[in-house]
Chain A
Amino acid sequence: MDTPHTTWPGRAVLHVDMDAFFASIEQLDHPEWRGLPVIVGGSATTRGVVSTASYEARRYGVHSAMPSAQAARLCPDAIWAPSRFDRYHEVSRAVVAVFERLTPFVQQVSVDEAYLDVTPTAHRPTHPLEVARTIQAEVDAMGLSCSIGVATCKTVAKIASDADKPHGITVVRPGDEAAFLAPMSVRALPGVGAATAERLRVAGIRTLGELAGLDDGSALQLMGSSGQELVRRARGIDDRPVHDPDAVKSVSNEHTFGTDVRTRAEIETALKKLVERVSERLRRKGLQGRTATVKLRYADFTTRTVRHTAALPMDLASDLLPVALRLLEDTWTPGAGLRLLGFGVSGFGERSEQLDLFTANAEDDTERSRALVDSIDAVRARFGSGAIRLGMHDAGPEPEEE
């Protein structure tokens, strides 16, 4: 282990990963559940999946993304908690606020993980390990737990944060990256999925050390266009900056239905909810996009994606919804059962719009509707996204963010 007394040359990146985040929040809010197996996700009676399992439940072999029915068989005494995304987002914001007190370079990649650039500078010479310890102590004080990877780049920091879970801090010193990664399975590398891992296995490559030794030609042949980049990362080389503002290429949400839906009303209601969620996220990020995408996955798992590019950038649900409904109309065959519905917006640029002298009243309407959605956003930011809804929603599960 490193000590804060040795200097840290070059870049320092932390990857902070919350431990069993949703389950920990449930245990925090329900003190009687502490020390017991808690599973957050769809209940065993529907076609749900496990969102998060507490470490007590993980001992029974339960893990994220496992079908609920299987989890129920493995751990029959588990306490099942439905997802409360509003609450998780609220806690997530509080955790991010801790990060932001320590460095301006925070890139939240999901509700429970973030990268921080904590490269020591003349003005802020704190050693990266010291920063990691401070973060862990503050998260502990909130009644939660996190694991942190400390390294010179995002890839290594991410893998390091997973090396000693829960409540660990793993430091990979500058220069030690390749040695740290070498013995690990290729699956540990973000970007290597089951299919890629299988192709690599057939080629006799199981560890990151073996992957790191691959030449460019073989990398391209085995893994396609991203191959060379994956080999670089397996060597511990990753120049991606923390908080790259261009990183946001699209904002999208998807919803997997508990049971296939086939009526227009159900599908449109779900689409409206997705549009509203995407719209809210766009406005929160200050983004407007010109391209709207609707994704449909049918009962037989075939997936269709359709998109439309509008003349002007959009962020208001009132602008996005007609586009989304038209795309749905063009694509969905009435009666066809849907497993999954997705909606996204991309094509971000500086939003600019030539105003018109004679639609001044219409302008006022736009201003009013913008003022309205700003108020709704403010209410939701304070009380959660379930606090205020359009009248057309029926009560249903919250869509998952992608």
Chain B
Amino acid sequence: MKISIARGELLDALSTVSRGLSSRTTLPILSGIHVSTTSASVVFQATDLEVSIKTSCQARVDESGQSVLPGKLLTDIVRSLPEAGITIETTGAGSAKITCGQSVFTMRTLSPEDYPKFPEISAEETVSLPTEQFSHIVHQVSRSVSRDETRPILTGILVVVDQNTLRMVATDSYRLCVKEVVVSGLSGGIELVVPGKAIEDVAKLVGSSESVSLGVSENQVVFTFGNTTFISRRIEGTFPNYRQLLPKEYVTRVVIDRVELLEAVKRVSLMAQHNSPIRLSVNTAEHTLRLSAAAQDIGEANEDIQAVPEGEDVEIAFSHAYLLDGVAVAEGDTIALEVTSPLKPGVIKNVEGDDFAYLLMPVRIG
């Protein structure tokens, strides 16, 4: 095999498939990137057996063939090279030579026969989603994905396509984020749970592609964008019924400037150490929302911000990290915080519309 590719395109392709590289040392072949040729392009693949990624780019193919090159090393080399043409050539005894200008690298290769075959998926359902909306929703809900492997279903994001809406939900059992958008031209119904890390990687990779298509088979989900195919396993099991968790009413609602609240939460959090919570007190008479935090033997912080309250005065405490995430991913200049009781979930919402909700369970304090 002998191929020549522009450095920029090669780096893009390698960076994309690198997200599929395995860090498991028990299967050394999975640390490699599989490279193969067609008539005028090169195909790159990587897999850790959880996800499989394939992408291609234009190239001058002087000699067809295939090889498996050490993924991280190859990517690091290409990243360090100047913007020029790069030639990759396999030599006889299981090695490859990478040449760019005066730089020459040779490296051992792995056997392409040992490399897992790229999964063939026949999607039962496929929808096409605008990249921008897709990435934005993933960014919003992914912070609420659980990192705790003991409840696998919560390490995923629930993706629902229902008529012409796309909805994603994630929860780590302390907070829950749900976001819904209307996408014109959608049809069909899809409901599946995708591993949080996989869908986050897709959202980062879609980049300049106009749309991302999502296909579902029995056990797997395939995302297609540009020249890239990204396949992930689905998470088995039933996602919690988030609808019944959403409070139907509220006792207190405050409308607040989002950025002002975000900055205040960041400041007051400095005093909320060791997971001590931030207290929020709504004063309807004064039209204020007070944030306070105290750290034993250290000190305390207080900040009043202007708010438009409705309902009763209330005091509720939240984990500062969860509160910060919620305010950060909410959109718009102003947001609403709705509370029913100090022991029931608080909800951060858009001031108008029900397309976004970030539920967070309070911290019970004495």
Determine the distance from Cα of A360 to Cα of B359 in the docked complex, in whole angstroms: 13
Q: Which residues of B contact A360 (CB under 8 A)?
A: 245
**CB of A351 within 8 A of chain B?**
yes
**CB of A354 within 8 A of chain B?**
yes
Of B240, B294, B364, which one neighbours A353 at CB under 8 angstroms?
A: B364
Q: Which residues of A contact B363 (CB under 8 A)?
A: 352-355
Q: Which residues of A contact B319 (CB under 8 A)?
A: 354
Determine the distance from Cα of A357 to Cα of B245 in the docked complex, in whole angstroms: 7
Q: Is the CB of A356 within 8 A of B366?
A: no
Binary per-residue interface labels of chain B (342-366) against chain A in the complex, 1 for a CB within 8 Å, 0 otherwise:
0101000000000000010111111
**CB of A130 within 8 A of chain B?**
no
Q: Is the CB of A352 within 8 A of B366?
A: yes
Determine the distance from Cα of A351 to Cα of B275 in the docked complex, in whole angstroms: 12
**CB of B176 within 8 A of chain A?**
yes
Interface centre among A288, A353, A354 (most CB of B within 10 A): A354
Q: Is the CB of A355 within 8 A of B245?
A: no
Q: Which residues of A contact B296 (CB under 8 A)?
A: 349-350
Of A286, A349, A351, which one neighbours B364 at CB under 8 angstroms?
A: A351
Q: Which residues of A contact B361 (CB under 8 A)?
A: 354-357
Interface centre among B245, B294, B343, B366 (most CB of A within 10 A): B366
Q: Which residues of B contact A352 (CB under 8 A)?
A: 275-277, 317, 363-366
**CB of A363 within 8 A of chain B?**
yes
**Chain B: which residue is nearest A288 at the CB level?**
B366
Binary per-residue interface labels of chain B (171-209) against chain A in the complex, 1 for a CB within 8 Å, 0 otherwise:
101111000000000000000000000000000000000
Q: Which residues of A contact B364 (CB under 8 A)?
A: 351-353, 355
Determine the distance from Cα of A363 to Cα of B341 in the docked complex, in whole angstroms: 13
Q: Which residues of A contact B362 (CB under 8 A)?
A: 355
Q: Is the CB of A351 within 8 A of B173?
A: no
Within 8 A of A (CB), among B307-366: 317, 319, 343, 345, 359, 361-366
Q: Is the CB of A355 within 8 A of B317?
A: no
Minimum C-beta distance from A75 to chain B (A)? 49
**CB of A301 within 8 A of chain B?**
no
Q: Which residues of B contact A349 (CB under 8 A)?
A: 296
Binary per-residue interface labels of chain A (311-351) against chain B in the complex, 1 for a CB within 8 Å, 0 otherwise:
00100000000000000000000000000000000000111
**Chain B: which residue is nearest A349 at the CB level?**
B296
Within 8 A of B (CB), among A345-397: 349-358, 360, 363, 367
Q: Is the CB of A350 within 8 A of B343?
A: no
Determine the distance from Cα of A398 to Cα of B20 in the docked complex, in whole angstroms: 68
Determine the distance from Cα of A216 to Cα of B87 in the docked complex, in whole angstroms: 85
- Chain B interface residue count, CB cutoff 8 Å, equals 23
Q: Is the CB of A357 within 8 A of B366?
A: no
Determine the distance from Cα of A204 to Cα of B175 in the docked complex, in whole angstroms: 70
Within 8 A of B (CB), among A19-62: none
Determine the distance from Cα of A358 to Cα of B241 in the docked complex, in whole angstroms: 10
**Chain B: which residue is nearest A356 at the CB level?**
B173
**Chain B: which residue is nearest A351 at the CB level?**
B366
Determine the distance from Cα of A360 to Cα of B245 in the docked complex, in whole angstroms: 9
Q: Is the CB of A351 within 8 A of B343?
A: no
Contact A357 to B365, CB < 8 A, known contacts A350-B296, A352-B276, A352-B317: no
Determine the distance from Cα of A351 to Cα of B176 in the docked complex, in whole angstroms: 24
Contact A357 to B277, CB < 8 A, known contacts A350-B366, A352-B364, A367-B343: no
**Chain A: which residue is nearest B245 at the CB level?**
A357
**Chain B: which residue is nearest A363 at the CB level?**
B343
Minimum C-beta distance from A299 to chain B (A)? 41
Determine the distance from Cα of A357 to Cα of B247 in the docked complex, in whole angstroms: 12
Q: Which residues of A contact B275 (CB under 8 A)?
A: 352, 354
**Chain B: which residue is nearest A286 at the CB level?**
B366
Q: Is the CB of A357 within 8 A of B171?
A: yes
Minimum C-beta distance from B193 to chain A (A)? 16
Of B245, B294, B359, B365, which one neighbours A351 at CB under 8 angstroms?
A: B365
Minimum C-beta distance from B348 to chain A (A)? 14
**Chain A: which residue is nearest B359 at the CB level?**
A357
**Chain B: which residue is nearest A315 at the CB level?**
B366
Determine the distance from Cα of A258 to Cα of B132 in the docked complex, in whole angstroms: 79
**Chain B: which residue is nearest A364 at the CB level?**
B343
Determine the distance from Cα of A352 to Cα of B277 in the docked complex, in whole angstroms: 8
Determine the distance from Cα of A304 to Cα of B363 in the docked complex, in whole angstroms: 37
Q: Is the CB of B317 within 8 A of A357?
A: no
Determine the distance from Cα of A349 to Cα of B294 in the docked complex, in whole angstroms: 12
Of A350, A353, A357, A367, which one neighbours B173 at CB under 8 angstroms?
A: A357
Q: Is the CB of A356 within 8 A of B174?
A: yes
Q: Which residues of A contact B359 (CB under 8 A)?
A: 357
Within 8 A of A (CB), among B211-246: 240, 245
Q: Which residues of B contact A286 (CB under 8 A)?
A: 366
Determine the distance from Cα of A349 to Cα of B364 in the docked complex, in whole angstroms: 13
Q: Is the CB of A355 within 8 A of B343?
A: yes
Minimum C-beta distance from B332 to chain A (A)? 24
Q: Is the CB of A357 within 8 A of B345?
A: yes
Q: Which residues of B contact A351 (CB under 8 A)?
A: 364-366
Determine the distance from Cα of A313 to Cα of B173 in the docked complex, in whole angstroms: 21
Interface centre among A349, A351, A352 (most CB of B within 10 A): A352
Q: Which residues of B contact A350 (CB under 8 A)?
A: 276, 294, 296, 365-366
Interface centre among B171, B359, B361 (most CB of A within 10 A): B361
Q: Is the CB of A358 within 8 A of B276?
A: no
**Chain A: which residue is nearest B176 at the CB level?**
A357
Minimum C-beta distance from B189 to chain A (A)? 26
Determine the distance from Cα of A355 to Cα of B322 in the docked complex, in whole angstroms: 12
Determine the distance from Cα of A286 to Cα of B365 in the docked complex, in whole angstroms: 12
Determine the distance from Cα of A313 to Cα of B365 in the docked complex, in whole angstroms: 11
Determine the distance from Cα of A349 to Cα of B171 in the docked complex, in whole angstroms: 30
Minimum C-beta distance from A169 to chain B (A)? 40
Within 8 A of A (CB), among B245-301: 245, 275-277, 294, 296
Within 8 A of B (CB), among A148-202: none
Q: Is the CB of B317 within 8 A of A358?
A: no
Chain A residues within CB distance 8 Å of chain B: 286, 288, 313, 349-358, 360, 363, 367
CB<8 Å pairs between A and B, sample of 22:
A288-B366, A349-B296, A350-B365, A351-B365, A351-B366, A352-B276, A352-B277, A352-B364, A353-B363, A354-B174, A354-B361, A354-B363, A355-B174, A355-B361, A355-B363, A356-B173, A357-B171, A357-B240, A357-B345, A357-B361, A358-B240, A363-B343
Other than the given A354-B174, A358-B173, 5 more pairs (CB < 8 A) read A349-B296, A351-B365, A355-B362, A355-B363, A357-B171
| Closest A-B pairs by Cβ, 10 of them | A351-B366, A355-B361, A353-B364, A352-B365, A352-B363, A354-B363, A356-B173, A358-B173, A357-B361, A357-B173
